[in-house]
Amino acid sequence: FYLTPAQVNSILKANEYSFKVPEFDGKNVSSVLGFDSNQLPANAPIEDRRSAATCLQTRGMLLGVFDGHAGCACAQAVSERLFYYIAVSLLPHETLLEIENAVESGRALLPILQWHKHPNDYFSKEASKLYFNSLRTYWQELIDLNSGETTDVREALINAFKRLDNDISLEAQVGDPNSFLNYLVLRVAFSGATACVAHVDGVDLHIANTGDSRAMLGVQEEDGSWSAVNLSYDHNAQNEHEVERVKMEHPKSEEKSLVKQDRLLGLLMPFRAFGDVKFKWSIELQKRVIESGPDQLNDNEYTKFIPPNYHTPPYLTAEPEVIHHRLRPQDKFLVLATDGLWETMHRQDVARIVGEYLTGVHHQQPIAVGGYKVTLGQMHGLLTERRAKISSVFEDQNAATHLIRHAVGNNEFGTVDHERLSKMLSLPEELARMYRDDITIIVVQFNSHVIGAYQNEE
């Protein structure tokens, strides 16, 4: 079985999406030029999700990748809801009041987010009312709390993550009279998702990470070479601080059973996640909810199964670790990706491949005839060669697609091997998960001129 290059391309490009920040006649003041994103499923259906949106009531842009486990329900819910929680957390008191008043009097709401979505990125219509009510309760509390202080982005991110996870948990405990919704909120709570979210506003880049997706900055050194800077820490057994943190939060008696086979309680790979109430609720609560829940839930062995050595819940949190970075002109791009990418590629390679892709043409020195003797034919040959080189890079119009092509198709020499690519992409569904994970990538490109101008102002 063999896929033609065209077939390979159609598989790789099926989910690609690009967004360019509109250029206002050369007066573009956004530090973000735009972004490319793509997903390659291994699970069927894919359990990864991605989101991107521009904040309309505050400045800045939000981008995030979400890696679901035990189903896609939680990742889906987080991808729809988290940015609203963040945006609301960032809103000044007056705007919150304005929005609340609008809802109260049935007037049109101020738009909060402008989404940048691939047609396959859907929102659940059925749950929107429920989600909205939870969000509204949140902003009402924020209004009541009115601290009068300006909102700190780090705090807003942490609050939003924790609040959403809390709401997911509450909604599952309360249930819903509509049986479809009732089942949905339970599936959301019993499945899990990691999240890696970037908030970019001018030169201020915040990364909030929960779990083992990763954010990485691509930096161009003075000599033109590329290097990678991590902007998140994986929350898993390889991270000593995480292991330490988990151990601190539980009695010494549990020390041995907490992390087994590099997994939390011997079961869960990420040490932080949304949902996963099996690692958060007490055993009594889990049993009560499952018993009163719909039959489907009762029949599911996984949900009924209580983790071993489960003594002092919660064992899991959705609280993110937030890293702030001030963008510099040499920071050319940001890669957000789920662990599917990082398992197959070293960050240094990612930085190089994306960097070379993005600079592509510009990287080639312009030709100048100068005083040399060049004939039309020679020049034509030279230009044809250069075009061929560029077009091999530009087979992909999307940096994320280009990265996936390398992640899946790279041979031992670090170049894309079509045969390997073809084999990996034609694996039957049930086998695909054994050879690769879902991969979701967002590549954000920064506007060095704008960032440079910011720096000069200061």
Partner 1 sequence: IARMFLRLLSDIQWRAAHPKWRTMTGSQRSTSTTAEPHPVSLPAQAQVVICGGGIMGTSVAYHLSKMGWKDIVLLEQGRLAAGTTRFCAGIVSTARPVSIELKMAHYSNKLYQQLEQETGVQTGYMKTGSISLAQTQDRLISLKRIASSLNVMGIPCEIISPKKVLQLHPLINIHDLVGAMYMPEDALVSSANVSLALATAASRNGVQIHERTSVSHVTVQKGRVTGVETDRGRIQCEYFVNCAGQWAYELGHSGEEPVHIPLHACEHFYLLTHPLKEPLSSSLPTIVDPDGRIYIRNWQGGILSGGFEKNPKPLFTEGRNQLEIQNLQEDWDHFGPLLSALLRRMPGLETLQIMQLVNCPESFTPDMRCIMGESPTAQGYFVLAGMNSAGISYGGGAGKYLAEWMVNGYPSENVWPLDLKRFGTLQSSRTFLRHRVMEVMPLMCDLKVPRWDFQTGRQLRTSPLYDRLDAQGARWMEKHGFERVKYFVPPGNDLLDLDHSKTFYKPDWFDIVGSEVKCCKEAVCVIDMSSFTKFEISSTGDQALESLQYLFSNDLDVPVGHVVHTGMLNEKGGYENDCSIARLSKRSFFMISPTDQQVHCWAWLKNRLPDDSSLVMEDVTWKYTALNLIGPRAVDVLSELSYAPMTAEHFPSLFCKEMSVGYANGIRVMSITHTGEPGFVLYIPIEYALHVYNEVMNMGQKYGIRNAGYYALRSLRIEKFFAFWGQDLDAFTTPMECGREFQVKLEKGMQFLGQEALLEQKQNGVYKRFTMFILEDHDTDMDLWPWWGEPIFRNGRYVGKTTSSAYSYTLERHVCLGFVHHFDEKTGEELVVTTDFINQGEYEIDIAGQRFQAKAKLYPFSSLFTQRRRKDEVELSGYQRE
Which C-beta is closer to partner 1: that of 28 or that of 166? 28
Task: Please give the Cα distance from 443 to 90 (Å, whole number).
Answer: 24
Residue 22 Cβ vs partner 1, minimum distance, rounded to whole Å: 11
Query: Measuring CA to CA, which residue among 231, 230, 222 is closest to residue 330?
Result: 222
Q: Tell me how many residues contact partner 1 (CB under 8 A).
A: 19
Kindly tell me which residue out of 111, 119, 177, 366 binds partner 1, with binding defined by CB under 8 A: 366
Minimum Å distance from CB 377 to partner 1?
3
d(CA 165, CA 272): 11
Of 186, 169, 105, nearest to 134 by C-alpha is: 169
Vertex 318, ends 314 and 323: CA angle to 5°?
Answer: 135
Q: With CB under 8 A as the contact rule, which of the stretches 287-295, 331-339, 383-391, 399-407 interacts with partner 1?
A: 383-391
CA–CA distances in Å: residue 331 to residues 26, 224, 228: 21, 12, 10
Contact between 369 and partner 1 (CB under 8 A)? yes
Report d(CA 124, CA 446) in Å as an integer.
32
For the bound state, the minimum distance from the C-beta of residue 392 to partner 1, rounded and expressed in Å, comes to 15
CB 443 within 8 A of CB 400: yes
Find the shortest distance in angstroms from Cβ 387 to partner 1: 6
> Which residue among 6, 108, 145, 376 contacts partner 1 (CB under 8 A)?
376
368 binds partner 1 per the rule CB under 8 A: yes
Q: Which stretch binds partner 1 (CB under 8 A): 73-81, 234-242, 366-374, 448-456?
A: 366-374
Under rule CB under 8 A, residue 20 binds partner 1: no
Least distance (Å) between residue 302 CB and partner 1: 49
Question: β-pairing, 48-55 with 32-40?
Answer: unpaired
DSSP annotation of 267: T
What is the C-alpha to C-alpha distance for residues 69 and 42, in angstroms, rounded to an integer? 13
Structure tokens at 278: 């099996």
Q: Are 354 and 218 in contact (CB under 8 A)?
A: yes
Q: Which of 105, 147, 261, 375 binds partner 1 (CB under 8 A)?
A: 375
29 binds partner 1 (CB under 8 A): no
Query: Is 381 or 414 the residue whose CB approaches partner 1 more closely?
Result: 381
Minimal distance in Å, beta carbon 28 to partner 1? Answer: 12
Contact call for residues 341 and 435 (beta carbons, < 8 A): no
Find the shortest distance in angstroms from Cβ 385 to partner 1.
11
| Angle, alpha carbons 299-304-306 (nearest 5°) | 165
22 binds partner 1 (CB under 8 A): no
Binding to partner 1 by residue 386, rule CB under 8 A? yes
CB of 202 to partner 1, least distance (A): 22
Q: Is residue 361 a contact point for partner 1 (CB under 8 A)?
A: yes
Among 255, 383, 394, 397, binds partner 1 (CB under 8 A): 383
**Nearest approach, Cβ of 361 to partner 1 (angstroms)?**
7
Q: Is 374 a residue that touches partner 1 (CB under 8 A)?
A: yes
Q: Is 384 in the site for partner 1 (CB under 8 A)?
A: yes
129 versus 380: smaller Cβ distance to partner 1? 380
How far apart CA 67 and CA 346 sit, in angstroms, is 19
| C-beta closer to partner 1: residue 148 or 370 | 370
Query: Helical H runs in 175-273?
Result: 179-190, 240-248, 255-258
Q: How far apart are CA 34 and CA 49, in angstroms?
A: 19
Pick the stretch among 115-123, 147-155, 239-247, 367-375 that binds partner 1 (CB under 8 A).
367-375
248 vs 369 by CB, closer to partner 1: 369
Our CB check for partner 1 shows the closer of 323 and 453 to be 453
Q: Say if CB 429 and CB 41 are below 8 A apart.
A: no
Q: Which residues of 353-378 are buried (b: 16+ CB within 10 A; e: fewer)?
A: bbbebbeeeeeeeeeeeeeeeeeeee
Question: Which one of the spans 194-202, 212-220, 363-371, 420-428 is the region binding partner 1 (CB under 8 A)?
Answer: 363-371
Distance CA 88, CA 157 (A): 10
Least distance to partner 1 from the beta carbon of 31, Å?
A: 20
Q: Which region, judged by CB under 8 A, interacts with partner 1, from 202-210, 223-231, 240-248, 359-367?
A: 359-367
* Strand locations in 94-185 (E): 113-115
Residue 379 touching partner 1 (CB under 8 A): yes
Going by DSSP bridges, is the β-strand pair 274-275/192-201 parallel, antiparallel, or unpaired?
A: antiparallel
Q: Judged by CB under 8 A, which stretch of 188-196, 269-277, 328-336, 358-366 contacts partner 1?
A: 358-366
The least distance separating partner 1 from the CB of residue 369, rounded to whole angstroms, comes to 5
Told to check if 26 binds partner 1 by CB under 8 A, we report yes
Under DSSP, the state recorded for 317 is B
8 A C-beta contact, residue 42 and residue 434: no
CA-CA distance, 301 to 349, in Å (whole number)? 41
Structure tokens at 163: 């609040």
Question: Given the rule CB under 8 A, which residues bind partner 1?
Answer: 25-26, 361, 364, 366-369, 373-377, 379-380, 383-384, 386-387
